[in-house]
Amino acid sequence: MSEKRDAIEVADQKLQRGDGGEYHQIAGGDGEVLTTNQGVPVSDDQNSLRIGPRGPLAMEDFHFREKLFHFDHERIPERVVHARGMGAHGYFETYESLADVTRADLFQRKGEKTEVFARFSTVAGNKGSADIARDVRGFAVKFYTREGNWDLVGNNIPVFFIQDALKFPDLVHAAKQEPDRGFPQAQTAHDTFWDFISLTPESINMALWIMSDRTIPRSLRFMEGFGVHTFRLVDAEGKSTFVKFHWKPKSGMQSVVWNEALKINGADPDYHRRDLWDAIQMGDYPEWEMGLQLFDEAFAEQFDFDVLDPTKIIPEEVLPIRRVGRMVLDRVVDNFFAETEQVAFCTQNVVPGIDFTDDPLLQGRNFSYLDTQLKRLGSPNFHKIPVNSPRGCPFANFQQDGHMRMQVPKGRALYQPNSFGGPREAPRTGFRTYPAEVSGQKLRMRPESFADHYSQARQFYRSQTEVEQNHIVSAFTFELSKVETVAIRERMVAHLLTVDEDLGTKVAAGLRLKSLPNAAPPAVEPRTDLARSPALSILLNGPRSFAGRKVGALVTDGVDAEILAALKTALEKEGAMLKLVAPMVGGVEASDGTWLEADEKIDGGPSVLFDAVAILPSEAGCAQLVDEATARDFVADAFAHLKFIAYSPAAEPLLRKAGILEALDEACIALDSSSDAQPFVEACRKLRHWPRETAVKQV
Ligand code: HDE
């Protein structure tokens, strides 16, 4: 007892103010004094104030109470949707002046850089859910322009489930955990989701998109983004042009395969967050080009569908995309909560030169986003949280008070007109709503022009490669197999038959439906003559390089130092990375006696975390690995997930034990000497060896 007290007293003394007036610190500090929120220096942060050494705590311990009080209130409500996300800072650079179509300040000058904050998210999962859930990804960008903040709050899919914001709560309730049981988490493979979808034909086009590989992106860096709605650009003369916004990833698109996604979620639930963080920290800055599809009323008239209907796209082949700038994310956040959690995107945040259309979904969103921020952030002054504050532009108005008011307004009058001064409207340069003509009766109805739900779904399906079509069939089969109510499975198949007979029949067979249901009757006859749009395929638009990707090399003591070095050099030349996976994280001794630290121990670095693998044990090392289940899985999974595999001759026993030695194909490349490294890396540019897929029965 007395020994313990002594120790405490020694610690106490360490925190005492020294004779010179300085505060001594416990190891690890940087000389700054720990204080309460009131700025009072704290002498002891290890022990609360108590009555006697073993007695009760004293209420007067203001440091204890303040610290616990603050901790108790650390959580804010997570976003009702898009709770799980990852944000980063960066800039947008304008390629050329867009004064011909918009007066938006950020688009006026070639080379202009505007600060941005981007947040990517899944939709259905709660904040702590895994990153590679099959789900739409949010793609939200806040531009801090010189004329205020513009938020482009988009997704990685260009269409949406519903046509009217009134249905959003229903959609989300159906997708989230079922209310009685509180599961499943972060997945749509359950009854209520498919019940809603099958009863809501307008969602069928989106259903096709979410069952494609778009919803299991390899990383946030390798996906497209879309503004979804038709917006307006307005020029200095007040002329309006319709616009659809696109983001094209510089590194091309890439997705994982479904079996891999399931395993990644176990191996690294933060896979996407970590990837974005690592890429930025390494200086491999993620980049997207912004593209615009610009058109006028007359152009819009030529379509059977309505450009105000957010379940439709205008194919790029029909209306080419004009690339107008690039977004580069070059800075991770300093604090996740302060920035990524507190960022408040609002679709209503537009700037002069950008305006809304009457898309009913967009109109509804303009209410919802502002409303939700109050709930989440708790104060109408959320715009003053640094990540939300406009920057680089003047800011002044007469709004006052409210919870958590941060700035101190000066002057006598917080109203206008007034006789005391303060800001005034800018009739000429301020935001002016585009004076669109509107008239009509008040009605609750959908226009005829929103009635075709199947033509574009078919066009999407038909525009995929065979591999991708197979994945869509597999995804529907997987999800509907998780649906317990047979009638819902049948109802979905009925819709799929209306979309495309081949698709519906294959899914029905995958589900082993006893009989094929009748195709769902469409409200208007679908078009079957829409031209394929290759831009809708991921595989037809993949990268031509392996840059930004990772090879996991399985190594043991005695790994051939020369071959490994050649592989590393070839990968670095390509802009890709080599990660070492070893029996123990401390590392291995290479053939030349050098010590190589490992990045992962085998069971912490399964092959699902890499884009390609190299199996490079020594003979002795391999003899040990063949008995390790994780090593066999490393190899077998890489093969099953259609990855490019490099292997040393010594690895053959492991390949045999993993069951792939007899099945090796041209994407399995022997690294007999260091000159084989470069051709392997070049082969990796294809990312996956799709012809293997039927062989391994992935589909
Ligand atoms: Fe959202 N959505 N949404 N949404 N949405 C939210 O706002 C809503 C829709 C999107 O990283 C919420 O701050 C309605 C389409 C993203 O913080 C909420 C409707 C698209 C994010 C909300 C939609 C999106 C949200 C929840 C139907 C793509 C995350 C938390 C009309 C174009 C932004 C929040 C971030 C977040 C409402 C449909 C994208 C409740 C009512 C369509 C990327 O306001």
Q: 32 and 98: one domain? A: no
CA distances to 231, 251, 286, 561 from 575, in Å: 37, 11, 13, 21
Q: 52 and 140: one domain? A: no
| Residue 462 forms part of a structural domain | no
Q: 18 and 111: one domain? A: no
Q: 609 and 683: one domain? A: yes
What is the arithmetic mean of pLDDT over 59-81? 97
Selected catalytic residue, list 63, 82, 383, 689: 82
C-alpha of residue 80 to centroid of ligand 1, in Å: 9
Cis peptide before 184 (omega within 30 of 0): yes
What is the arithmetic mean of pLDDT over 571-584? 98
Q: State the residue range of the domain holding 259.
A: 85-176+226-388
Q: Where are the alpha helices (DSSP H) in 463-530?
A: 466-481, 486-499, 501-511
Q: Where is the domain boundary, 49, 72, 95? A: 72
Confidence class for position 23, pLDDT limits 50, 70, 90: very low
Confidence class for position 392, pLDDT limits 50, 70, 90: confident
Q: Where is the domain boundary, 388, 412, 437? A: 388
pLDDT at 27: 63
Q: 169 and 29: one domain? A: no
Round to whole Å and give the CA distance between 128 and 270. 9
Q: At residue 3, does pLDDT exceed 70?
A: no
List all residues whose CB is within 6 A of at least one atom of ligand 1. Answer: 79-82, 85, 119, 121, 138, 140, 153-155, 160, 165, 168, 228, 310, 343, 345, 361, 364-365, 368-369, 372
Residue 694 or residue 527, greater confidence: 527
| 163, 446 contact by CB (below 8 A) | yes
Residue nearest atom 11 of ligand 1, based on CA coordinates: 119
C-alpha of residue 164 to centroid of ligand 1, in Å: 13
pLDDT at 643: 98
Confidence class for position 542, pLDDT limits 50, 70, 90: confident
| Residue 197 forms part of a structural domain | no
| Residue 372 forms part of a structural domain | yes
Q: 594 and 621: one domain? A: yes
| Residue 418 forms part of a structural domain | no
C-alpha of residue 157 to centroid of ligand 1, in Å: 13
Q: Give the position of tokens 């498919």.
A: 194
pLDDT at 18: 45
Share of the chain above pLDDT 90, in %: 94
Q: At residue 20, does pLDDT exceed 70?
A: no
| Residue 38 forms part of a structural domain | yes
| Residue 185 forms part of a structural domain | no
Q: At residue 6, does pLDDT exceed 50?
A: no
| Residue 77 forms part of a structural domain | no
Residue nearest atom 30 of ligand 1, based on CA coordinates: 79
Q: Where is the domain boundary, 359, 388, 417? A: 388
What is the arithmetic mean of pLDDT over 408-437? 94
Q: At residue 1, does pLDDT exceed 60?
A: no
Any catalytic annotation for residue 82? yes
C-alpha of residue 100 to centroid of ligand 1, in Å: 31
Q: Which atom of ligand 1 is closest in space to residue 226's alpha carbon?
A: 32
Q: At residue 26, does pLDDT exceed 60?
A: no
Top mutation candidate among 345, 347, 373, 375 for ligand 1, by most atoms within 8 Å of CB: 345
Selected catalytic residue, list 155, 156, 349, 388: 155
Round to whole Å and give the CA distance between 196 and 209. 16
Number of domains in the chain: 3
Confidence class for position 695, pLDDT limits 50, 70, 90: confident
Residue nearest atom 27 of ligand 1, based on CA coordinates: 165
Residue nearest atom 44 of ligand 1, based on CA coordinates: 369
Q: Which two tokens stand for residue 444?
A: 């609750």
Sign of the Cα pseudo-torsion (591, 595, 598, 601, in order): positive
Q: 8 and 130: one domain? A: no
pLDDT in tens, 603-630: 999 999 999 999 999 999 999 999 999 9
Residue nearest atom 23 of ligand 1, based on CA coordinates: 365
Q: What is the CATH number of the domain that holds 668?
A: 3.40.50.880
Bridge partner list, 328: 91, 287
| Residue 237 forms part of a structural domain | yes
pLDDT at 685: 97
Confidence class for position 540, pLDDT limits 50, 70, 90: very high
pLDDT in tens, 110-150: 999 999 999 999 999 999 999 999 999 999 999 999 999 99
DSSP states along 157-210? SSS-S-SSGGGHHHHHHHHS--TTT----S---SHHHHHHHHT-GGGHHHHHHH
Q: 128 and 261: one domain? A: yes
Round to whole Å and give the CA distance between 156 and 139. 6
Share of the chain above pLDDT 70, in %: 96
What is the average pLDDT value for the chain, to the nearest integer?
95
Q: Where are the alpha helices (DSSP H) in 482-598?
A: 486-499, 501-511, 561-574
What is the arithmetic mean of pLDDT over 6-35? 57
pLDDT at 31: 87
Q: At residue 4, does pLDDT exceed 70?
A: no
Confidence class for position 299, pLDDT limits 50, 70, 90: very high
Rg value, the chain, Cα: 29
Q: 19 and 92: one domain? A: no
Q: 126 and 22: one domain? A: no
Q: 151 and 7: one domain? A: no
C-alpha of residue 628 to centroid of ligand 1, in Å: 46
Q: What is the CATH number of the domain that holds 156?
A: 2.40.180.10
C-alpha of residue 360 to centroid of ligand 1, in Å: 14
Q: 68 and 90: one domain? A: no
Q: In this structure, are strands 644-647 and 668-670 parallel, antiparallel, or unpaired?
A: parallel
pLDDT in tens, 320-378: 999 999 999 999 999 999 999 999 999 999 999 999 999 999 999 999 999 999 999 99
